Amino acid sequence: MSKNKKKADEKATKIPVESPEEHPVENEEVKKLQEELEKKQQELDDTIRLLQRNQADFENFRRRNNSVRAESYENGKRDAVSELLPSLDDFDRIVSNADKADEAWVEGVKLVYRKFTDELKKLGLSEIEAEGKFDPNLHNAVLSEAADGVESETILAVLQKGYRMGDKILRHSMVKVSE
pLDDT in tens, 138-167: 999 999 998 888 888 899 999 999 999 888
Return the bridge partners of 143, or none. Answer: 176
- From edge to edge, which strands make up the β-sheet containing 163-165? 125-127, 163-165, 168-171
Decide the pairing of beta strands 163-165 and 139-145.
unpaired
pLDDT at 155: 92
163 burial type by CB count under 10 A (0-12 exposed, 13-18 middle, 19+ buried): buried
The residue ranking higher by pLDDT, 104 or 37, is 37
Domains of the chain, start order: 26-123 (3.90.20), 126-179 (2.30.22.10)
Per-residue model confidence (pLDDT) at position 61: 92
Residues 150, 156 contacting (CB under 8 angstroms)? yes
Torsion of CA 55, 58, 62, 68, to 10 degrees: 150
Strands (E), 33-171: 125-127, 139-145, 155-160, 163-165, 168-171
**Average of per-residue pLDDT across 9-16:** 54
Among 5-14, 24-33, 131-140, 144-153, which is the least confidently predicted range? 5-14
Q: In this predicted structure, which of 15-24, 50-59, 122-131 has the lowest mean pLDDT?
A: 15-24
The pLDDT value given to residue 23: 59
Q: Looking at residues 121-136, what average pLDDT do you find?
A: 89
Range in 94-98, 138-142, 170-174 with the lowest mean pLDDT: 94-98
Is the model's pLDDT at 123 over the cut of 70? Answer: yes
**Which residue type is seen at 27?**
N
pLDDT greater than 60 at residue 16: no
pLDDT of residue 35: 93
Position with higher pLDDT, 147 vs 4: 147
